[in-house]
Amino acid sequence: MTQTTDKDRVLIFDTTLRDGEQSPGATMTHAEKLEIAGLLDEMGVDIIEAGFPIASEGDFKAVSEIAANARNSVICGLARANMGDIDRCWEAVRSARQPRIHTFIGTSPLHRAIPNLTQDEMADRIHETVTHARNLCDNVQWSPMDATRTEWDYLKRVVEIAIKAGASTINIPDTVGYTAPEESADLIRKLIADVPGADEVVFATHCHNDLGMATANSLAAVAGGARQIECTINGLGERAGNTALEEVVMALKVRHDIMPWHTGVDTARIMNISRRVATVSGFPVQFNKAIVGKNAFAHESGIHQDGMLKNPENFEIMRPEDVGLTESNLVMGKHSGRAALRDKLEQLGFEVGDNQLKDLFVRFKELADRKKEVFDDDIIALMRVGEDPENDHLQIVSMKVVCGTGGPAEATVEMEIDGKDASATAHGDGPVDAAFKAIRDLFPNAAHLQLYQVHAVTEGTDAQATVSVRLEEDGMISTGQSANTDTVVASAKAYVNALNRLIMRREKSAPGSDIREISYKDVS
């Protein structure tokens, strides 16, 4: 069981694969979930919430495989307050070296009204379900959802019930990002002081960023006595997101003078996993995002540049290498060989097999022929948005686009659809619109385009464009990405990638299989 006798150690509980993936459009494939879990395990995350096993067969399999493969982290699954959820969760995590069951129920007046339970009925449910979970697993976490809007007397009552029933971690969620730092610290402090048995368990904090205070609220909770922070990579999560792992970890490291607590996270791995989560989730990191944003260590102002040249500490409170940024940038070109590429990838935090390197080297050479200068970010883009062998229903073979001021754009697209060649020509309001229409002619679908986003990977007119496309069809959401020096080609490939993911989800879906379709009505 991951418990700590070091009063200054803060456990990091990462829920990127559960709460983070619930963010609309952020659904990951099975292989991507396993990869992210492996990276979290390697970087020293204490607890990985791998998913919601009852949500779907796919989620169950992912949690089970993550549990079987984990070397260091506690592997946790989420379960609602009913026996079926808890049994399914235990079945998924039981093969882990260190398994945990995390069960929850909404305790605020608004949330109690959903299953229509009285305070006493809910209290009985909490006792029964936590006891059941504890009989299966000696590491049980319990959460009163919407705790920060729950009446104080009732919150204190149900926390005591959960502790007596065997919960070893009590998580206090700010489910809707409602609280403020002073309240966050005070709530934890009062629970520890007033609830019998509170000194024998770990208190955790789970904050959302609706008012932009998730990181501040989490750190305040630690000051109040919490010793576990629930968070996600890049702050991924529903609505405005969750507490960002990189922010709380680096805040504790940089400001250890006023926050005398520490974590076990290898911070040099932060940038690598941030980039990977951004790619597989389809949620690019904003340029000015703290710690991992593209501009986090960039300096353009003349005063700032002058200060940096004299002493980097003038304008940097942490070193780029502390979060895994390399100092080198322009070192690769069309004359670089496989060994140089492999070495560069290792510098950037990637480990590749021989077959993967062979495929990547071909695409690197193609890029180097089109670009005079190949930057680190170009190589990262190649690595992150390469061809996905799992998604091969649809493939673009060739494209030809005609556009200008003389009339509507025209796109001719040749595709391979389940092994058969087909082509179509379409007109549209611009080259991207024409290309998308040609693809829809070749593969008719009712998917609604929710997001189309383009950003340049590096500078210059020959820069690679990374395109993100989010599609929705019958409640299912998928995101695709691609990178190319031709924005229209990148756009078309991203659209096809999203369609492929939608096809996969459609094939695997079953009634009630999506986590967002599960409601309190299912609690029994």
Q: How far apart are CA 92 and CA 64, in angstroms?
A: 4
* Cβ atoms of 241 and 235 closer than 8 Å: yes
Q: Tell me how many helices (H) and strands (E) the chain has.
A: 16, 14
Q: How far apart are CA 255 and CA 253, in angstroms?
A: 6
User: How far is CA 412 from each of CA 108, 212, 465, rounded to the nearest angstrom?
Assistant: 56, 46, 21
Q: Which of 393, 363, 398 is nearest to 484 (CA)?
A: 363
Annotated binding residue at 19? yes
Q: How far apart are CA 311 and CA 192, in angstroms?
A: 45
Q: How far apart are CA 378 and CA 463, in angstroms?
A: 8
Which stretches does DSSP call E strand in 225-303? 228-231
* Cβ atoms of 277 and 264 closer than 8 Å: no
- The residues, ordered by sequence, that sit 6+ positions from 247 with a Cβ below 8 Å of its Cβ are 215, 235, 290, 291
Q: How far apart are CA 123 and CA 133, in angstroms?
A: 15
Give the strand pairing for 465-473 and 476-484: antiparallel
* Cβ atoms of 502 and 44 closer than 8 Å: no
Q: Which of 173, 292, 179, 177 is nearest to 244 (CA)?
A: 292
Annotated binding residue at 208? yes
Binding positions are 19, 206, 208, 242
Binding positions for Mn(2+) are 19, 206, 208, 242
